[in-house]
Amino acid sequence: MFKKFGIALNQRSTWVGLIWILTASGISLEQEQAEGIITAGLALSGLLGLFWKD
């Protein structure tokens, strides 16, 4: 199903992009909630970069 849209779930860049999209959704929330979502999103992106082989 995802290949139809050109989405490769086995690539790091796909997951980082999805995390960034979800992180950006926190912008319209309360300040404390937005900070938590942004912090978690950045941490997850960093962990993917650290542990995923290129």
Average pLDDT, integer, range 1-30: 73
Say how far apart CA 50 and CA 25 lie, in whole Å: 24
Average pLDDT, integer, range 2-10: 66
Say how far apart CA 14 and CA 26 lie, in whole Å: 19
Q: What residues does each domain of the chain span?
A: 2-51
Average pLDDT, integer, range 16-32: 77
Specify the pTM: 0.57
Average pLDDT, integer, range 7-22: 79
Nearest to 37 by CA among 27, 50, 47: 27
Beta-carbon count within 10 A of 52 CB? 12
Backbone angles phi, psi at 14, to 5 degrees: -65, -45
Q: What is the CA 19 to chain-centroid distance, rounded?
A: 1
